Structure 1
C-alpha cells in the first residue's frame, strides 16, 4: 500500500518537483498539493494523507501555524523544509515544537545538482516517517507542553507531564528505579524527534544536577548553536554548544556542534574534530560514546533517545564492556524507534524508560 503524501509549498516549481520525485517512487503517492497554510489544513482534513511535506514561508498562513492546527485537528506526521540559516534554525525548532516530526534543508541548487541523491533522501525520509510508530494523538499536545517549559523550568515549578499511552506506562512500570551511582558523565544520543525529547528530559533536571552532560543530536552545523541557546533558556541547568577545550563540570550540558565530531581526551577535556566524510553522522553518537568509555570506563550513564538508524549501538557496546550503564527510550514514546531499538535488540540496555520518565529517573539516579 502506497504512502499518501500531501505537498505544501508556495513555490509552484517546488510543488511540481516534489510531486515528480515522490511520484517516481512506487511506494509513494501524491494525493494533493497546497500553496499556503490554510489550504494545507483543508487538504489534510479532506485527503487524510500519511505524511505532509511543509514549507514555512507562505502567504495567508505560515507553515508553523498550519502545523499547530493540523496537529490539533487531524494529527499527521509533518516533514518541514528549512533553509540552512540562523533564521532557518529558529523556524525549524519552532516547527518541531509545534509538532513536526522532522525537517530537511530546502535547496533548489541541490535538487538541480544532485537529483538522484535528493530523490533517494526525500523518499526514504518520507517512508521512514510514515512507518514510524508514533502515536500522534498522544503527542498532539507537544506544542502546548513545550511552550509551558519556558515559563516554569527556571523557577523550579512542577511541570505537567505529557499524556501517556497505556503501552508507555506498561513499559515504564517494568523497570525498577535506577540504582544511584556517582557518574562522572551523562551522555545522551538522539536523532529524529530528538529536539523535543531532549527538551523534555533536560527541563526535568535540577539546577544542582551533580554530573556533567554531553548531548549528541543529529543536526546541521547552523542549527546546533540555536538549539543549545533555546535549551539553555528553558532549562535550570546550563546548556551551550560545545567548543574545543571545554572542561566538563556538574550541571553543564554541552551539545556537540553539527558537522563535527565530539571526543574527550585523556583528561576528560572536550575535543572538537572535523567531521570525517567516511562517517554517516556528524556528530556521531558512536564516536562520543566510545570516547567516553575510554576515558571514564564504568562511570558513564548513556541514554539513547528517539531516532532513525542505529547510531549509538557500537558506542554503547564499548560502554557496556567497561561496566557503564545504558538506558533506552521505550518504543511507545519514540517518534522513530530506530536508535533505541538497535540498543535493545543488541541487549545492551540496562533499562527501558518512557520519555515522560527519563528526566526524573535521571535526576534520581544521579543524586
Structure 2
C-alpha cells in the first residue's frame, strides 16, 4: 500500500517511516508535519492509507480527518502517543471517518509496537481490497428470554452514529442491545465508557460468559468474534481466524438469524467494507426487522451499501430516521 504519514514530531514521524518502509510491503508516499499539509498532500497524491496523529498545532487530527474524508476520501488510521489520554478526540476522529486507533511505536526496530502497527495496516489492507471469503457457517448460539434483541453493527463513523441514535432515548423495558463495533480490543473499554457518558442507560463491555440483560447496552470487547449460546450467554470465538473483520458483525447477525426465537432488529451502520451485509440478509430471511443507514448520513458508505445491494435491509434510513424508527418499533422506557 501507498501510505501517508502525518505527525508534527520529527522523531515520531521517523519511527513511523522506518516501520512502514522496513516492512518491505508498503511505500511511504509522503510525510506531512501538520494537518493542513496532510489535507493538501491527500488532494495532490491520494494514498491508500493515512497514519494520522491526533494532537498537532493548528489543524489537529480530528479536523484533518474530517477534511480529508470530505475532499479526498481514503483509509485513515489514528496513530498517536497515549491514545487513552485523548479519548474524546479519538472518538471524534472515528466519527469523522477514521478506521481505527493505535499507539505510536517507539523509534527502535523490531519492537512490539512495530508488529502491532503492521498488523493494523495489514487488516486495513484487507478491508480496502474487500478480498475476503464469507465464513462457511456461523457459530451456534440460540435465542432466548429477552423480549427484544436490538443488534447493531458498525465500523468507520460508528461511535458517533450510535451515540446519536440513543442520545436522549432509553428503549422500553425488556430490550437488550448488543453493539459489534470494529475497534481495537485495547480501546473497547474506553469506547464503552465514552458511550456510557453520552447515554441514559448502562453500557458494559461483554466479558466471556456474560448473560444478556434487558435495559443494558452490551459492547463487544475483543478482536475475536462474539457469539451467543442457548442459555443466552455471550462468548468469544477466534474462528474464523482468517476473517479481517474482528469482531465480525456477520457472525453475530447470523447467530440471531439461526437461533433467536424472540423479536429482534438488526441495524447496520456506517463503515468500510462489507461486514454485516450477509448477516443482515440472514436476519431478514429469518423474519427479523432489518435497517441500514443511508449514503448521505454515512461517514463511509461501504457496509450499508453492501446490505442495500443484497436487499438485506427492509428500510434504508438516515441516521436521524433510524432513531425514529427504533423508537416506533421498540418504544420508550416510561
* Global fold match (TM > 0.5): yes
Native 8 Å contact 1:93 1:195 kept in 2: yes
Match of 1:189?
153
Match of 1:103?
100
Selected match of 1:360 from 313, 324, 331: 324
Match of 1:303?
267
Secondary structure (helix, strand or coil) at the match of 2:91 reads: helix
C-alpha distance in structure 1 between counterparts of 2:256 and 2:101, whole Å: 30
Matched, 1:54 2:52: yes
Matched, 1:332 2:296: yes
Native 8 Å contact 2:97 2:299 kept in 1: no
Secondary structure (helix, strand or coil) at the match of 1:315 reads: helix
Match of 1:141?
none
Selected match of 2:36 from 38, 41, 48: 41
CA deviations 1:12-69 (Å, max 9, x no partner) are 4146448859xx97xx994x6433xxx43366469855576421355x56x7x45347
Match of 1:198?
162
CA deviations 1:219-250 (Å, max 9, x no partner) are 11111111111111111122111123333233
Secondary structure (helix, strand or coil) at the match of 2:175 reads: coil
Match of 1:80?
78
Match of 1:159?
none
Match of 2:177?
213
TM-score (norm 1): 0.67
Match of 1:222?
186
C-alpha distance in structure 2 between counterparts of 1:33 and 1:89, whole Å: 25
Matched, 1:8 2:26: no
Match of 1:282?
246
C-alpha distance in structure 2 between counterparts of 1:303 and 1:360, whole Å: 13
Secondary structure (helix, strand or coil) at the match of 1:332 reads: coil
CA pair 253-115 structure 1, distance change in 2 beyond 3 A = closer
Shift of 1:122: 6.2
User: How is 1:69-218 mapped onto 2 (pairs within 5 angstroms)?
Assistant: 71=66, 79-82=77-80, 86-87=84-85, 92-96=90-94, 99=96, 101-105=98-102, 106-107=104-105, 109=111, 184-206=148-170, 208=172, 210-218=174-182
Shift of 1:338: 1.5
Shift of 1:212: 0.9
Secondary structure (helix, strand or coil) at the match of 2:179 reads: strand
Matched, 1:271 2:234: yes
C-alpha distance in structure 1 between counterparts of 2:219 and 2:176, whole Å: 11
Match of 2:142?
none
C-alpha distance in structure 2 between counterparts of 1:190 and 1:361, whole Å: 18
Shift of 1:260: 2.6
C-alpha distance in structure 2 between counterparts of 1:284 and 1:70, whole Å: 25
Secondary structure (helix, strand or coil) at the match of 2:178 reads: strand
C-alpha distance in structure 2 between counterparts of 1:288 and 1:43, whole Å: 37
Shift of 1:85: 6.5
Gaps of 5+ in 2: 131-145
Native 8 Å contact 1:327 1:351 kept in 2: yes
C-alpha distance in structure 1 between counterparts of 2:93 and 2:39, whole Å: 17
CA pair 69-218 structure 1, distance change in 2 beyond 3 A = closer
Secondary structure (helix, strand or coil) at the match of 1:246 reads: coil
Q: Which has a greater percent of helix?
A: 1
C-alpha distance in structure 1 between counterparts of 2:225 and 2:316, whole Å: 27
C-alpha distance in structure 1 between counterparts of 2:156 and 2:181, whole Å: 9
